[in-house]
Amino acid sequence: MSNSVSPATPTSVTERRRIGRAGAWLRLLRRLPVIPGVILLAVLLAAVFAPWLAPHDQDVFDLAASLKPPAWMADGSIDHLLGTDNMGRDIWSRIIFGARISLLVGFLAVGLAGTVGTILGLLAAYFEGWIDALIMRLVDIQMSVPSILLALILSAAIGPGLTTVILVIMIVYWTYYARLVRSEVLSVKTRDFVALARIVGCRDGRILFRHILPNVINSIVVLATVQLGTVIIFEATLSFLGLGVQPPTPAWGSMLADGRTYISTAWWLSVFPGIAIMLTVLSMNLFGDWLRVRWDPKRRQL
C-alpha cells in the first residue's frame, strides 16, 4: 500500500491563513506598548465623551466650595474627587474637558503642518532646482524665528485664542515634515519603479502621490505621532502665557497658570493638570517610539 499525501483542501488552506493572521495579530499585540496605549485611549475617550463623563459642569461657579482639597484629604469631599479651584469649579471635570482642547489642537495643528510640509517637501525633492532652493530657504528662515516671538506677533495681529495656537504650531512645525520628506524623496525618486512610471507616461502628479508618497508615508506618520506630544506641551505653554485658549474654556496650560498663586496652599490646582500633561505626552512619545521601531526594517524584530 503506497503512502500518498493528499493535497491541501480549500478548507485547510483557509484555516492556515486564518491561523497565520491570528498569529500575526498576537505578535503585534505582544509588542504594543500596553500602558501608553491605555492612557491614550482614556484621554481620547475623555475628550470625546466629556459632557457625559465629567461629574460637574466645567464653568459652574460655587464660591462656597472654593479651594476644596482632594477627596482623600481633610475637608475633602467625594463630590469633588480632585478638589476645586478658587472659583469652586471641579478640577476633575475641567481636566476632562481640557483633554478636548489638547487633542483638538494636537490633531488639527499636526495635520495641517504635516500636510503643508509634506507637499512642499515632495515638490522640493522631485523638481529640485530653484523650487528646491526657494522652499529650503523658507525652511531655514522659519526655523530661525523663535516660536514664542511668532506667537506674540500673531496674538497682536489676530488676538489670542484657539486659532492663534493652531496657526503658530502649523507655521513652526511644517518645516520638520518638509526636511524629512525631501531627504527621503531624493532617495526614492532614483529607484527603478519611478523611472518605469516616467517611461509609461505617468504625469508628475501621479508619480508623486501614487508612487513616491506611499513609500515615505511611514516616516511621516511616525514623526506626526512623536510631535503630538511636543505640540501638546507647546499649546500648554501658550495657554500658560495667556496666548492660547482663553478663559473660561478649560485648558491644561491655563489651569497651571491659574494655580500659580495658590501653589503653596492649594497645590492640587497645578499638580493634577501637570500630571495630565505629563502622562499624555509621555504616552505619545512611547507610542511614537514603538511605531518607529515597528516600521523600521533595520530595527524590526519579528
Cell numbers found for residue 211: 508612487
- Cβ-Cβ contacts under 8 Å for 73 (sequence gap 6 or more): 83
Residue 118: its pLDDT value, please?
A: 93
> Which has the higher per-residue pLDDT, 8 or 264?
264
Q: What is the DSSP string of 27-96?
A: HHHHHS-HHHHHHHHHHHHHHHTHHHH-SS-TT---GGGTTPPPTTSTT-BTTBTT-B-TT--BHHHHHH
Among 93-102, 151-160, 174-183, where is mean pLDDT lowest?
151-160
Is the pLDDT confidence value at 5 over 50? Answer: no
Q: For the residues 72-98, what does the mean pLDDT come to?
A: 87
Residue 237 has pLDDT above 80, yes or no: yes
CATH numbers and ranges of domains, the chain? 97-295 (1.10.3720.10)
Alpha-carbon distance of 99 to 144, in angstroms, equals 31
Counting residues of the chain whose pLDDT is more than 70, the rounded percentage is: 87
pLDDT at position 15, please? Answer: 60
pLDDT at 273: 92
Q: Is the pLDDT of residue 102 over 80?
A: yes
| Model confidence band, residue 2 (pLDDT cutoffs 50, 70, 90) | very low
116/22 Cα distance (integer angstroms): 38
Q: Specify the higher pLDDT residue, 6 or 270.
A: 270
pTM of the model: 0.80
Enumerate the β-bridge partners of residue 185. Answer: none
Asked if 207 contacts 215 with a C-beta cutoff of 8 angstroms, the reply is no
DSSP state letter for 9: P
Closest residue by Cα to residue 101 from 288, 270, 286, 273 = 273
Q: How confident is the model at residue 301 (pLDDT cuts 50, 70, 90)?
A: very low
Q: Please, which pLDDT band fits residue 212 given cuts at 50, 70 and 90?
A: confident
Amino acid identity for residue 1 in this structure? M
Taking a C-beta distance cutoff of 8 angstroms, is the pair 236, 249 a contact?
Answer: no
Mean local confidence (pLDDT), 273-278: 92
Q: What is the per-residue pLDDT for 174? A: 92
Mean pLDDT computed over 174-184: 92
Contact in structure between 265 and 132 (CB atoms under 8 Å): no
Q: List, for residues 12-67, the tens digit of each pLDDT value.
A: 556 655 655 555 555 555 566 788 888 889 999 999 998 898 888 877 787 777 88
pLDDT digits (tens, 9 = 90+) for 240-263: 888 888 878 888 988 888 888 888
Minimum mean pLDDT range among 126-140, 214-228, 287-301: 287-301
Q: How confident is the model at residue 158 (pLDDT cuts 50, 70, 90)?
A: confident
C-alpha cell at 189: 525618486
Q: What is the pLDDT of residue 116?
A: 94
> Nearest CA to 213 among 119, 288, 112, 116?
119
Separation of alpha carbons 97 and 51, rounded Å: 8
Cβ-Cβ contacts under 8 Å for 42 (sequence gap 6 or more): none
Q: Is the pLDDT of residue 300 over 60?
A: no
